[in-house]
Amino acid sequence: MNISVVENVLKLNDELAAVNRGKLKDHRIYTVNLIGAPGCGKTSLLESTATLLKNKLRLAIIVGDLTTQRDADRMALYCNHVVQVNTGKGCHLEANHVRTAMERLPLKEIDLLIIENVGNLICPVGFDLGQDVKVGMFSAAEGDDKAAKHPYIVQEAGLLLLNKMDLLPYVNFRQEIFRADIHRINPKVDILDISATRGDNMAAWTNWLCARAAKSATQ
Amino acid sequence: MNISVVENVLKLNDELAAVNRGKLKDHRIYTVNLIGAPGCGKTSLLESTATLLKNKLRLAIIVGDLTTQRDADRMALYCNHVVQVNTGKGCHLEANHVRTAMERLPLKEIDLLIIENVGNLICPVGFDLGQDVKVGMFSAAEGDDKAAKHPYIVQEAGLLLLNKMDLLPYVNFRQEIFRADIHRINPKVDILDISATRGDNMAAWTNWLCARAAKSATQ
């Protein structure tokens, strides 16, 4: 009985995700589902991303948190279209959250939608939101064992970001271990070493987004 | 239907947690449920804790992870009684995991049991394991907004640890914001600023454990 309920929840989620995906495709919006642990730097990344994409792409952001409006307030300084979703005790975003949030966005005026999921490396991975790609985010401050301990996001990600490279001199993080674990779990995925605050590889990241959004716009 | 299943799962968990609690009390074992995000430093804390408690308290550790034996391997160097629980895709420990792990521990030879929960600030909070106290753990590298964004662990914790104080000079972490949020959410909880790697306040932490374990032993 328990299993059938879980299956029904996931089935309903998949149906709503398909509706989201269709709507986003109709509007030629490229959509990223950004997943990482609390404090890996998702919001700082999006602040910097919004600044760099200004006059290049029309960006919208949906941001999930248990509670508070803080992330949306931070990002509203950099991005015109920000919707905060509060999940209460919910540990991940579901397609229905995104569907509701999309109703508050002017879809005709958007090229790129980034969904910042709830800070959690586990539960968000299993819920399709209608995105084109999942981007997994780690931080050098978290330790070099986190890819091995969280293989599902590594398996499903179209790109992995390793943030807080500015802290590398002050922490015990062996990059060769981190990369070897990732290549064992998902040999095809690219890894981008970034620092959202210092700017490392932020051009590579925004170029990656622009290239995909451009492709999406012509399809 | 969905709600009743969730209620049944929690009810069964509470029943098993009560069994664990009775058994731990019979053996006068003080039990800590340690909850924090991936990479906040739980395993490093326990390595250091085990070293400092040697010849003071007989320590056992149950460690939860989705996958890998890495934490148990790390801690087995410092602690004689370590049991690794792998939850697969499960985002938290449940009382049944702890019940099974306890069967592999020599309970008569243990004063203090620390359960390192799965790296996740959300889901573990709702599941009683039979512990005496929940200890919530944050890291200065995660940002000063994490208590506000994760209020449930702050509400339920008997003690909060702020780890990685050694990184404070290199990150933008306003301690007054972090503390103000905590005091608003849970005015009674103590906060201990620590560095598991540099040793800051590790004596205060182990004294806290020793005092509670001593009280537990005489009850």
pLDDT digits (tens, 9 = 90+) for B77-127: 999 999 999 999 999 999 999 999 999 999 999 999 999 999 999 999 999
Contact B142 A91 (CB under 8 A): no
Residues in chain A within 8 Å Cβ distance of B70: 145, 148-149
Residues in chain B within 8 Å Cβ distance of A121: 38, 119-120
Q: What is the ipTM of this complex?
A: 0.95
pLDDT in tens, B137-157: 999 999 999 999 999 999 999
Q: Is the pLDDT of residue B210 over 80?
A: yes
Q: What is the mean pLDDT of residues A133-140?
A: 98
Q: pTM for the whole thing? A: 0.96
* Confidence at residue B4, expressed as pLDDT on a 0 to 100 scale: 67
Best mutation target among A149, A164, A182 (most B Cβ atoms within 10 Å) is A149
Contact B39 A146 (CB under 8 A): yes
Measured at the CA of B5, the angle between CA B11 and CA A6, to 5 degrees, comes to 130
* Confidence at residue B1, expressed as pLDDT on a 0 to 100 scale: 42
Helix (H) or strand (E) holding B192: strand B190-193
Chain B interface includes A211 (CB < 8 A): no
What is the spatial distance between Cα B157 and Cα A2, in angstroms, rounded to a whole number? 30
How far is B107 from chain A, CA to nearest CA, in Å? 29
Phi, psi of B203 (to 5 degrees): -70, -40
* Confidence at residue A9, expressed as pLDDT on a 0 to 100 scale: 84
Burial A117-129 (b: 16+ CB within 10 A, else e): bbbbbbbbbebbb
- Could you tell me what percentage of chain A is helix, strand and coil, using 3-state DSSP and rounding each to the nearest 5? 50, 20, 35
Token look-up 């032993």 returns: B217
Edge to edge, the sheet with strand A133-139 lists A81-86, A59-65, A112-116, A30-36, A133-139, A159-163, A190-193
The fraction of chain A above a pLDDT of 90, given in percent, is 94
Contact B149 A70 (CB under 8 A): yes
| pLDDT band per the 50, 70, 90 thresholds, residue B9 | confident
Q: Is the pLDDT of residue A88 over 90?
A: yes
Q: pLDDT averaged over chain B?
A: 96
Chain A interface includes B42 (CB < 8 A): no
Report CA B35 to chain centroid distance, whole Å.
4
| pLDDT band per the 50, 70, 90 thresholds, residue A160 | very high
What is the spatial distance between Cα A194 and Cα A36, in angstroms, rounded to a whole number? 14
Judge contact between B72 and B82, C-beta under 8 A: yes
What is the spatial distance between Cα A205 and Cα A190, in angstroms, rounded to a whole number? 11
Dihedral angle, C-alpha A12, A18, A23, A24, nearest 10 °: 120
Residues in chain B within 8 Å Cβ distance of A72: none
Chain B interface includes A4 (CB < 8 A): no
Q: What sign does the CA torsion over B126, B127, B133, B139 have?
A: negative
Contact B121 A38 (CB under 8 A): yes
Judge contact between B22 and B111, C-beta under 8 A: no
Contact B148 A66 (CB under 8 A): no
| pLDDT band per the 50, 70, 90 thresholds, residue A1 | very low
Contact A70 B126 (CB under 8 A): no
| pLDDT band per the 50, 70, 90 thresholds, residue B58 | very high
Contact A5 B5 (CB under 8 A): yes
Three-class DSSP category at A197: coil
Residue of chain B nearest A4, judged by CA positions: B2
Residues 6+ apart with CB under 8 A from A54: A78
Q: Is the pLDDT of residue A219 over 80?
A: no
What is the spatial distance between Cα A102 and Cα A111, in angstroms, rounded to a whole number? 13
Q: What sign does the CA torsion over B195, B200, B203, B207 have?
A: negative
* Confidence at residue A74, expressed as pLDDT on a 0 to 100 scale: 94
The fraction of chain A above a pLDDT of 70, given in percent, is 98
* Confidence at residue B11, expressed as pLDDT on a 0 to 100 scale: 93
Residue of chain B nearest A86, judged by CA positions: B149
Chain A interface includes B164 (CB < 8 A): yes
* Confidence at residue B3, expressed as pLDDT on a 0 to 100 scale: 57
Residue of chain A nearest B148, judged by CA positions: A68
How far is B197 from chain A, CA to nearest CA, in Å? 10
* Confidence at residue A3, expressed as pLDDT on a 0 to 100 scale: 57
* Confidence at residue B181, expressed as pLDDT on a 0 to 100 scale: 98
What is the spatial distance between Cα B113 and Cα B49, in angstroms, rounded to a whole number? 12
Best mutation target among A8, A71, A91 (most B Cβ atoms within 10 Å) is A91
Residues in chain A within 8 Å Cβ distance of B152: 66, 89
How far is A57 from chain B, CA to nearest CA, in Å? 29
Residues in chain A within 8 Å Cβ distance of B2: 5, 8-9
